[in-house]
Chains A and B, each alone.
Chain A
Amino acid sequence: MNTNLITQVSAFIWQEADMLDHGEFQSWLEQWTADGLYIIPIDPLETDFLNTLNYAYDNHAMREKRVYRLGSGESISTVPTARTIRTTSRFRILEDSADRVTVRCAQNLCEFKKETIRHYSADVTFELVKVGDSFKIDRKIIRLINADDALQGIAYIL
């Protein structure tokens, strides 16, 4: 087992999680490759995201719009802003090549907004492109364990 690589990718993913929890969205947007996709499928077993309905299927332009929306004050569901704390763990390298690495981890996210705490668990798969001694995100696929149940509004970036 390449513990060196696990250390490297987990440091990167923890940093990304910290950016999202602390609202550092500009830095978050810069973590991505130009064609990077942020995907939240409805069916946790889905693999053809392009031709099926997802909760989110964001390219760069949509990610920018999502970030803008969160901070614009134009959306009543984002005021007050939900506070989130997410923990990622259970990292496992699924694929490793010269220029890419695919890693799967568990994410437990706790959301607080207006008197209510909610909890979302997900399997998150990152397809990372190696850039220097760090990475860019090419795919981030968030498979909520309850994705095919009825959800409530999620007014932040999962």
Chain B
Amino acid sequence: MTIEIKPAQASCNYQELVKHDRVHTSLYTDPAIFADEMDKVFYSTWVWVGHTSEIPEPGSFKTTYIGKQPVIVARDRKMKVHVLLNRCRHRGATVCEHKKGKTASFVCPYHGWSYATDGSLRGVPHPEGYADILDKGDHPLVGLRVEEYAGMIFATFKDDIESLDSYLGPAKKWMDLFMKQGGGYPVKAGNAHRFRFPGNWKIQLENTTDAYHFPLVHKSFLSSVDQQTLDMLDFVEGAGYVEDLGNGHSVMVMIPELVDLEANLDAPIPARFEELAQQLREKHSEEEVRRIVRAVGGSGFNLNIFPNIACSMAFFRVLQPIAVDQTEIHHVVLTMDGGPEEANRARLRMHEHFQGPMGFGTPDDSEAWERVQKGASAGQDLWILLNRGLPKEVETEDGRRSDVSAETGMRAAYQQWKKLMTA
């Protein structure tokens, strides 16, 4: 048997594989490209690792991944946030296997080296074996560069790339708008629906700014909601838009009335929230009730932040590449921290209704993406079309804009992808 091994570089002329209006199908299917992406995308730019509410106190931590590398996001005793490679400096074991928690130190289970929550190496059992050849100061858990905006924590392996602030650019104002769904309370990131689908991570990246699929793929969800919600979600031919925000980020505004959740507080309360409003009136002023009720259903837009996080209407969508044809997604529920129980319950129930492996939306998305991966194995030299909405696309102050079902956001992401992959 002969196996044809394609040299990675031969298949990876990224200039050729990404055009302004389409990308080559090998971006979904070539394992060599996937390996290269880990290095040139995930280990070379800002990657989202958590929300500040997930690690609220000194010693709070969560574990996650940047690309394929396990990391710990920890708050030290002085409340400073560290992103540490989850790898013991002795012989490599992970030092923490909990998804989240609170601790004074991370102790490696293999030989017991212990590290403080800022990563510094504190204790080495039986140190006499090292005499003076081991300097603890030289062996902390490896810490990455960490910056935050609007409670969103990002990390990078690179010390020489631009600041997070400059990387996010015009996306920042959308992050601020998104956080208004706290309804006057801080946004709290809670538990997540975690699921995997057999497909490339970029298929899901595209989907966050894909209004085009909504009425078709989510028909069964639309059949399960009231008329007002149905009208609100009938946005494909509406006044919404997609805007390229630079650096691969983009926003898809589906419901323009719900861009600013603090505006139009005197608009009528939708019938589906009337009961909630009535409950809230027992303890809250009319103004608070209106702010909470307006925020409870989330924002009217999806903000895609390249490469792995989206602020999507009422939740965070976290994307984790596993293999060229395997991706893990987390849909993180958001609640109002310290806010009224009734409102938070409404948010939880809405999240359950659409998201997750048993939601009325996610399984159908997942099926569609799986079909893309399967179909993408057909043909030798076929392309993924991304030209929808090009004719109406116009320049804006922040980038480029077209109608709500345009593929403008996907084009933005692939241009950034190309920039990183050819850097």
Contacts and interface: CB of A to CB of B under 8 A. Distances in A.
Interface of A: 40, 42-43, 50-57, 62, 65-66, 68-69, 72, 74-78, 148-155, 158
Contact of A76 (B99, B190, B194, B217): B217
Contacts of B116: none
B272 to A, nearest CB: 12
A75 B368 CA distance: 10
A153 B223 contact: no
A50 B335 CA distance: 14
A155 B196 CA distance: 14
Interface residues of B, number: 35
B13 interface: no
A31 to B, nearest CB: 19
Interface stretch (B39-47, B351-359, B401-409): B351-359
Contacts of B371: 76
Contacts of B224: 65, 68-69
A146 to B, nearest CB: 11
Contacts of A76: 217, 364, 367-368, 371
A72 B349 CA distance: 22
Given A51-B344, A77-B367, A42 B191 contact: yes
Given A51-B344, A56-B358, A155-B363, A74 B193 contact: no
Interface string B357-377: 110101110111001000000
A53 B351 contact: yes
B219 interface: yes
B357 A149 contact: no
Nearest to A156: B358
Interface in B143-198: 190-197
A153 B371 CA distance: 14
A66 B220 CA distance: 9
Contact of A158 (B193, B351, B358): B358
Nearest to A69: B220
B191 A153 contact: no
Nearest to B331: A53
Contacts of A152: 195-197, 357, 366
Contacts of A74: 219-220, 223
Contact of B366 (A57, A62, A77, A148): A77
Given A51-B344, A69-B224, 12 more contacts: A52-B348, A53-B348, A55-B352, A57-B349, A65-B360, A66-B360, A69-B220, A149-B194, A151-B194, A152-B195, A153-B362, A153-B367
A77 B349 CA distance: 21
Contacts of A72: 220, 223
B195 A150 contact: yes
Interface in B296-344: 328, 333, 341, 344
Contacts of B341: 51
Contacts of B77: none
The 10 closest A-B pairs by CB, nearest first: A153-B363, A75-B220, A77-B363, A74-B220, A150-B194, A74-B219, A77-B367, A151-B357, A53-B191, A65-B224
14 contacts: A52-B348, A53-B333, A53-B348, A53-B351, A55-B193, A62-B353, A72-B223, A74-B219, A74-B220, A76-B371, A78-B220, A152-B196, A153-B362, A153-B363
